[in-house]
Amino acid sequence: MPEVRDGVHGRGVVGEGLLTSGFTRIDGVLNCEGVGIEVLAREVGTPAYVYSSAMVRDRYAHLDGALSVLPHRVHYTLKANSNAGILRVLREQGAGVDVVSGGELFRALRAGFAGSDIIFGGVGKSADEIRSALTAGVLLVNAESEAEVRLLDRIAGELGVTAPVGLRVNPEVTVHSSHRYIKTGEKGAKFGIPFDDVLAVARLTAELPHTRLVGLDMHIGSQLFRLDPYLDGTERLVGLLEQLRAEGIDTIRYLDIGGGLGVAYEAEQSPDVERFARALVSRVAPTGLTLIMEPGRFIVGNAGMLLTRVLYRKHSGGRDFLVTDAGMTELLRPSHYDAYHRIEAVTPRGGQMMADVVGPVCESGDFLALDRAMDDAQAGDLLAVYDVGAYGYVMASNYNTRPRGVEVMVDGDQFAIVTARERYEDLVRLELDEPEWRQG
C-alpha cells in the first residue's frame, strides 16, 4: 500500500470541511491529482502554473453547499484567476462570475457565461465598460458613487434598457487582514459609497428613469478569517434595506456580501463556512433576499502550484541564495504583500537549508521567500511553490521582457496546457516598427 500524504504538509485544509489537497506525495513522489510533477515539468517546462481541477470543484461545491441554507448565488471573482480552464470548470459546476473590468467581462462571455450570470463591479468603470456590461445584460452593476449611478442612467437611456444597479456600500467596519492593501471596507477606503451617503444615492437610483435598485453590496477585504466583520457589515446592509423599504423603495432583491474568505498559506485555518452560513441565516433569511458571495481566493488559492527550477545556488554575505527561473514576475505576492508561500523540493535530497529563494529579475525586491528553512536544493532541482492559484498568474508581468509561463490544468490522470508559454514575439507584437507620425 503506497503511503499517500497530503501535499499541503498533511494539514486539514478548511475548518470542519472535507476538502482535500490536489497535491499529494505518493511514496515520496509529488503529484497533482494523478499526474507526476517531475513528468509534467519535463513535458511543459518551467516556470509553470499547475492547477488541480478537482480542488477547484471541491472548493466551489463546499461553499455552495454551505450556503444552501439560504437562497444564494456564488459568483466566482475572475480577478483571482481568469484562466479559461478554471472558468470552464466553474461554469460546469453552475457558478456565476464577478468581473471588474471590460477585459474580464470579455473573458467571462468568451468562457460561455450568460450576461445574467455576471456581476460587473469595479471602482473606476469607464463609459465603454458600462456600455458593454449593459449590452451583455448583466445581472447587476455594482456602482460605487453617485456619479457612476448618473452615468449608468444616461448610458442605459441611450441603449433603451434599464440598468440593474447594486450599490457597493462601504460598511465601515473593522477589518482584520494580513496586509493593509487587502482591506477595503474601512472608513476612508477608496472603495464603495461612504456609509452616510448611501441612502441618498439609493433614493436617486430608485428615482432615475433608467436605473433600478436591485442590490446592496459590500466587499470588505481579502484573506479574512474572522467572521464578525462580515456579520457586522451584513447587519449594516440589512439596516439600510429596512430604511429603504420603510420609504417605499422595495425593488432590492440581492444582498451581495463580496468575497474575501481566507485560505491557508502557512498554518492558518480557513473560516468554517458552514458556521458562517448558519450565522448569516438569522440576519438574511428574514429579508427574503438572495444572498450573493463573490469568492476568488477561497475557490482557487490552494488549487494552484508554481513549478520553478533552480538556476544557481550561491553564497553571499553569509547567506545561501537559490536563484530560480521564477520570481516577482511570476508571483508578485511575496514582494507586494509580504506574503508567505510554502516551498518544497519536488524531489527532496534529504537535507535542509536556510535559503533566500530569489528570481532572475534585476530588483532587490524580487524574491519568493527570504530566510526560509526548507529542503536542501541545488542547481537544476525543481521547486514547488504552493498556493499560487489566486493572484498568481493574473498579477504576472513581462518586466525585464520576461515571457509569462505556461498554465496547466490537471484533471485526474490527464493534464492540458490551457495557456501557452509566451514567446519573445508575443511581447513585441503590438509595437510598431514603423510608427505613423502625426502632426500634434
| Active-site annotation, residues | 362
User: Would you say 47 or 271 has its CB closer to ligand PLP?
Assistant: 271
CA dist 118 and 95 (Å) reads 10
CB 108 within 8 A of CB 97: yes
Q: Determine how many CB atoms are found less than 10 A away from the CB of residue 204.
A: 16
Name residue 344's beta-bridge partners.
384
User: Would you say 13 or 357 has its CB closer to ligand PLP?
Assistant: 13
- Give the gyration radius of the chain's Cα atoms: 23
User: Would you say 35 or 149 has its CB closer to ligand PLP?
Assistant: 149
Name residue 119's beta-bridge partners.
98, 140
CA dist 279 and 281 (Å) reads 6
Distance in Å, CB of 121 to ligand PLP, minimum: 5
CA dist 32 and 54 (Å) reads 10
| CA angle in degrees (0–180, nearest 5) for 256-60-335 | 80
CA dist 297 and 390 (Å) reads 5
Distance in Å, CB of 44 to ligand PLP, minimum: 26
Question: Where along the sequence are the contacts to ligand PLP (CB under 6 A)?
Answer: 77, 79-80, 98, 121, 219, 222, 258-261, 294-298, 390
Distance in Å, CB of 106 to ligand PLP, minimum: 18
Distance in Å, CB of 77 to ligand PLP, minimum: 4
CA dist 427 and 418 (Å) reads 19
What number of helices (H) and strands (E) belong to the chain? 12, 22
Answer positive or negative: Cα dihedral of 21, 271, 387, 347: negative
Distance in Å, CB of 224 to ligand PLP, minimum: 7
User: Would you say 220 or 384 has its CB closer to ligand PLP?
Assistant: 220
Q: How far, CA to CA in Å, does 7 sit from each of 65, 75, 270, 385?
A: 25, 28, 17, 11
Which is nearest to 108 in space by CA: 137, 73, 143?
A: 137
User: Would you say 295 or 359 has its CB closer to ligand PLP?
Assistant: 295
Distance in Å, CB of 391 to ligand PLP, minimum: 7
Distance in Å, CB of 17 to ligand PLP, minimum: 16
Interaxial angle between packed helices 102-110 and 127-136, expressed in degrees from 0 to 180 and rounded to the nearest 10: 20
DSSP state of 3: P
User: Would you say 22 or 295 has its CB closer to ligand PLP?
Assistant: 295
User: Would you say 61 or 323 has its CB closer to ligand PLP?
Assistant: 61
CB 160 within 8 A of CB 140: no
